[in-house]
Amino acid sequence: MNRTYALIGAAVATALLTACTTSMPTSAELDKLTQDIMARSFRAEGQAKLDRLSPDEDNRLCAESDQTGVALDPKVAQAIEARNLATIQPPTDGKFLGDWKQGEAIAQSGAGKTWTDKEGSVNGGNCYNCHQISKEELSYGTLGPSLYNYGKIRGVVNPGSAESKPIVEYTWGKLQNARAYNACSNMPRFGHKGILTEAQIKHVMALLLDPASPINK
């Protein structure tokens, strides 16, 4: 650890010295320096791998827009949505809904994707971190909209019916890959990024859409 900090310190000092004696470092040089510091500061462990240091094209475009404050060109946003939409597959057995009780447990669980999570251990959805869902759970984040009464508000009486098909398919798609409907969505791409399994997504679907789920009472 100390060696890492010493190396980072040396790298920063070199850059600053260079900046003082000659001209200011270019933005490309600073980017390279940041990359070097990041690469030395992190190591792959458990479920946290170093591929996170190299964002995919969609994350890169959205982060750039965030940092510069310049909104994405609508054509670029549409292209992001289109290529994410193309990743969405219907359920392999044609059934969209699982068991809402298991869905509630998945929504509650924040496990997964950190260096203390072992390879192959089961992840949670961490939904309450950003959404209100059941009324019983008083601790929730508000980055995303409230999902209380999600199915009821949308008039889902029978999730298998033709009338409910559009909302069932949209919800499935949103959970598979949130960028399909909102280019720079802050919601994790649960299916696309392999955070949740297909079975887990079905359970969460039931939590949101099953009329028997307490959130739709």
Residues lying near ligand HEC in the complex (CB under 6 A): 107, 125-127, 129-131, 143-145, 147, 171, 174-175, 178, 182, 185-188, 190, 204, 208
Q: Find how far residue 81's CA is from the centre of its chain.
A: 15
Q: CB-based contacts of 127: which residues, under 8 Å, 6+ apart?
A: 106, 107, 108, 133, 147, 204
Q: CB-based contacts of 142: which residues, under 8 Å, 6+ apart?
A: 130, 132
8 or 130, CB closer to ligand HEC? 130
Nearest approach, Cβ of residue 125 and ligand HEC (Å): 3
Nearest approach, Cβ of residue 124 and ligand HEC (Å): 8
Nearest approach, Cβ of residue 145 and ligand HEC (Å): 5
Nearest approach, Cβ of residue 164 and ligand HEC (Å): 14
18 or 129, CB closer to ligand HEC? 129
Spatial contact of 205 and 96, defined as CB atoms under 8 Å apart? yes
Q: Is 49 exposed, middle or buried (0-12, 13-18, 19+ CB in 10 A)?
A: middle
Nearest approach, Cβ of residue 100 and ligand HEC (Å): 11
Nearest approach, Cβ of residue 7 and ligand HEC (Å): 33
98 or 188, CB closer to ligand HEC? 188
13 or 110, CB closer to ligand HEC? 110
39 or 82, CB closer to ligand HEC? 82
Q: CB-based contacts of 37: which residues, under 8 Å, 6+ apart?
A: 8, 11, 12
25 or 112, CB closer to ligand HEC? 112
